[in-house]
Amino acid sequence: MSHHLSMPWAPTCDNAPGAKPRVLRLSRSTGLPMTIPSDPSADETIREGTRLLTASSESDSAPELHSTDVSQRDSDAILSPGHHSSLRSRLVLALAGIFVIFLGVDEMIRFTVITPEFLNLERTSAVRDTHRVMAALNAEIENLAHDASNIAQTTLKENQTSIWDTQFGENIHWTAYRDGNEPWRWDARHSSVTDASTSGQPTSELRNMIETLASDPTNQQISGMTSESEGRIYLFAGTRIPGGASRLDGDGQPGFYVIGRRLGDELINTLRRRTDVEFSLDHLHAARLATAEESEKGLQLDDTDDATLMVRAPLCNPNGEPLATLTVKLDREITQRSHHATSAARYLSICIVTAVLLIMLLLLQRLVIGRVAAIRQHTNRIAAEGLDVPALELEGSDEIGQLAQAFDRMKIHLGETQSRLAQASHAAGMNKVADTVIHNVGNVLTNVNSLIETASKRVSGLRIKPLDKLADRLTMAQDDPALAQATPAYLKRLSGELQNDQCELFALLNTLNENIQHIHQVIRDQRRHTTTKINRENVSIVSLLDEAIRCCESSFEKDEITISIINRIDAIVSTDRSQLLQILINIIGNARDAIRRVETLEPTLRIDLIQTVHSVHVRFHDNGCGMTPEILQRVFDAHFTTREGGTGLGLHYCAITIKRLGGEIRAESRGLGQGSTFTIEVPLAHPTGQPTRISPLNATKASLAGLVDQADASIKTCDETI
């Protein structure tokens, strides 16, 4: 059996690593509740037109200009976004993100695909070189086996005792020969194969190995590798002597012939030149593999050095015992060249991708960003100049071009809608003026009716019949001294009672006159709305509140409702007296209606006055029916009412007017049956006391003066009739 070097297993390569009340507050900037009413769209269109018509007539010039500036700034803020949110910056960020993703994918491919492949290629090349060296060693052993067979067949047959003169002498360092039962005869050409103490005798390691292998009768040939204790390694090969069996007796051993060659520097250099591989041999005691168990692991690769890749393979004798370690060194040229190649490819790819992204950015700037910017500028121009600007001319029929065309169509349609809305606003405004006048006058006429009823009762209760009876008795009994004596005292008392009745009637007529004058003032105020003037004056809030209570006192007495003022502070406010009086009357009237809807033991309206640094707060708290959150959200909307027969204009008029006067109004309620609280805020008097003027109305609002004049004439006729 021939024992050659075993071919070790190729290594596997790992990849490289890698509960409070709800409050509705009226905004000063808009004068409307900060909620969206749920009215139908048609009604909302009319109401919006009415609001556009009346709200502009109920705001002075400074707030109007301020609102325009705010709207312009809001439009600019929407249409001209900052650099951080512009389309251009977002596209740049998107392209930068694509570039970063490309770099990440490139690095991932480089570290997970390219680099491991080159590393595997390098390791495969190193293993291939190792196999080449081991194949060369096996070839040398086979050559020795061939030489041993030739020598045994030629030289020994001719009974030559020395082989050094043969053609094989240069490659053979020792021989071992045994014929039958004769002892082994060892011949060494170099003394290095013998111990220093015994000249010409082989070392024990050589003898034991060769004799053990040759003694096995099943081995016709032996070959392999062995070593001395001093670390010298030898290649050997042996064969059974031809015809040796004929000279054997029954107990004899077969003849055997073995030759060996030292694996020294000369042979190693020869193998290096033959295989073109740089390698070295380390004896087991000096090898890096310290134990036999480690040597049995097969090939081991060491790639810790960036410049050199080393492969270690164990060299074993025919018994499988490790003798030495074969170390193959390979320059890591493949890895270095792969690094240079991948780096150059990466830099070239970065340059190409950067150029492509810049070209894409320029194309997007020309085809998208520039055209979108043109649409934005056109939108800003419409916001600044109105719908009369020329149409947007944008080249191209793609999506952006179609967007520009659709924008122009929308502008035309919006202009037509605006025109129709102006006409609807004009008609709705005229209707609202009439409704407002009728509503405000109706509130006062209710009080007038109550005063007339009270005055009629007082007149019917005057003591007229006693005077008629006294005149009849004086006529019939002219000579009655007792009657003549009692008559002056009786007349005196009767005169006092009539005088009291006169004072009461005078007070009622005075209150009636105040209500009639207030009706005239409502008409004058409505006419003044069309001339856009507010007559501000310094007014005592308490006296104005007392006047409003007197106007409604008869109605409250009739319904047995208690009204009281808490904390009567003497605060002077700067306001339009008539308009603020109408606001107070409307709020007090609404409180009366709310109290009448529920049955309570003590129907009460409590009015609180609270003075702050800049204003006076007037709080009206009633214990009436209260409001739900849904009603509370719409309580100031035009034409919204929960009262049967109501118009829904009273609180809306209060909201609009208090805003014009520079104040604020809000409503609070804890729910149905919990009462309601309305609070108005009126600014304190300014030191100058100068009236504030507001911007003039347009021609449409001025046309309403005729309707107001007709209503004024009707009220005057009613006044004369009364």
pLDDT tens, position by position, 507-520: 777 777 777 777 77
- Which domains does the chain possess? 113-335 (3.30.450), 424-721 (3.30.565.10)
Give the tokens for residue 392.
């947007």
Cα torsion 536, 537, 538, 539: sign: negative
Banded model confidence at residue 524, pLDDT cuts 50, 70, 90: low
CB 421 within 8 A of CB 567: no
Please tell me the distance from the alpha carbon of residue 606 to that of residue 619, in angstroms, as a whole number: 8
CA diameter of the chain: 212
The residue whose two tokens read 């003590």 is 602
Banded model confidence at residue 18, pLDDT cuts 50, 70, 90: very low
Q: Does residue 75 surpass a pLDDT of 70?
A: no
pLDDT 10s digits, 108-130:
888 888 888 888 888 888 888 89
Q: Does residue 644 surpass a pLDDT of 70?
A: yes
Q: Does residue 324 surpass a pLDDT of 50?
A: yes
CB 60 within 8 A of CB 694: yes
Which has more pLDDT, 134 or 214?
A: 134
Lowest mean pLDDT among 71-85, 235-249, 597-611: 71-85
pLDDT at 264: 86
Measured in whole angstroms, how far is the alpha carbon of residue 271 from the centre of its chain? 71
Strand partners, 280: 327
The residue whose two tokens read 């060996």 is 260
Q: Taking residues 633-662, what's their average pLDDT?
A: 86
Give the tokens for residue 399.
């999506």
Strand partners, 226: 234
Q: Does residue 19 surpass a pLDDT of 70?
A: no
CB 258 within 8 A of CB 3: no
Task: Categorise residue 675: left if φ over 0, alpha if ψ from -120 to 50, beta otherwise.
Answer: left
pLDDT at 244: 52
Q: Taking residues 343-351, what's their average pLDDT?
A: 86
pLDDT at 575: 92
Buried (b) or exposed (e) across 251-263, using 16+ Cβ within 10 A?
eebbbbbbbbbbb
Is residue 190 helix, strand or coil?
Answer: coil
Give the tokens for residue 44.
């909302």
Buried (b) or exposed (e) across 462-473, using 16+ Cβ within 10 A?
eeeeeeeebeee
Q: Taking residues 670-692, what's their average pLDDT?
A: 78
Which has more pLDDT, 634 or 210?
A: 634
DSSP 170: G
pLDDT at 71: 44
Please tell me the distance from the alpha carbon of residue 206 to that of residue 212, in angstroms, as a whole number: 10
pLDDT at 65: 36
Q: Does residue 525 surpass a pLDDT of 60?
A: yes
The residue whose two tokens read 């409180």 is 591
Q: Does residue 358 surpass a pLDDT of 70?
A: yes
Q: Taking residues 535-541, what's their average pLDDT?
A: 90
Is residue 516 helix, strand or coil?
Answer: helix
Q: Where is 229: in which H helix or E strand?
A: none
Give the tokens for residue 52.
């556009």
Please tell me the distance from the alpha carbon of residue 44 to that of residue 33, in angstroms, as a whole number: 15
pLDDT at 699: 34
Lowest mean pLDDT among 84-93, 358-367, 577-586, 645-654: 84-93
Helix, strand, coil percentages (3-state) for the chain, rounded to 5, are: 55, 15, 30
Q: Where is 163: in which H helix or E strand?
A: none
Q: Does residue 629 surpass a pLDDT of 50?
A: yes
CB 712 within 8 A of CB 438: no
β-sheet with 221-227: strand ranges across: 185-188, 174-178, 256-262, 233-240, 221-227
Cα 524 to Cα 519, 533, 573, distances in angstroms: 9, 11, 22
pLDDT at 88: 75
pLDDT 10s digits, 448-501:
777 777 777 767 667 677 777 777 777 777 677 777 777 777 777 777 777 777
Q: Does residue 28 surpass a pLDDT of 60?
A: no
Is residue 468 helix, strand or coil?
Answer: helix
CB 326 within 8 A of CB 8: no
> Whole-angstrom distance between the N-terminal and C-terminal Cα of the chain?
149
Banded model confidence at residue 682, pLDDT cuts 50, 70, 90: very high
Please tell me the distance from the alpha carbon of residue 112 to that of residue 17, in angstroms, as a whole number: 8
Mean pLDDT of the chain: 73
Cα 581 to Cα 317, 518, 552, 584, 647, distances in angstroms: 124, 9, 12, 5, 20
pLDDT at 418: 77
Q: Taking residues 422-437, what's their average pLDDT?
A: 64
pLDDT at 347: 86
Cα–Cα nearest to 446, from 293, 305, 547, 592: 592
